[in-house]
Amino acid sequence: MHNDKHNANIQELDTITANKLFERKGLLLDHFAKRWSNEYLTGLREYHRASGKHTEQVNIGDVVQLGSESPRLLWRLGTIEDVIKGGDGLIRAAKVRTSRGLVTTRPIVKLYPLELRFMKIRNEIIKRA
């Protein structure tokens, strides 16, 4: 009898601990999302604005954020499938496949590349080895 009561107390304690851990996980995810939005995305956007080199910074296969009027945290991600050059030979727009599978055309000034290019280079090096 005492053993059953002891096991019930342990189960209750485990449930309470699990609930606290689940709540803590949610708080950590929220904290990460806010920091990612406020620090990384803001810095990335400002870097692209200040550099003004959108034409040199997008390539086929790059992962980009599609800038819009909504908050940055809600901007969709996409992958550049093709680039569109203007009459001057500079890249002016790109065809982007969104995370939903749709292909859309966006001007370069509305695309914000994520810093994933080094991963492609690393993977190419590994393939050659």
Q: What confidence tens digit (pLDDT) does each residue in 50-100 have?
A: 655 544 568 888 888 898 888 877 888 899 999 999 898 888 999 999 988
The CATH class of 53-128 is mainly beta
Residue 51 φ then ψ, to 5°: -75, -35
Q: What is the pLDDT of residues 6-41, one digit of tens each?
A: 565 666 667 778 888 888 888 998 888 888 777 776
pTM to 2 decimals?
0.52
Asked if 65 and 112 touch (Cβ cutoff 8 Å), the reply is: yes
- Per-domain residue ranges of the chain: 1-51, 53-128
Helices (H), 1-129: 2-35, 42-51, 54-57, 117-128
Residue 93 φ then ψ, to 5°: -150, 175
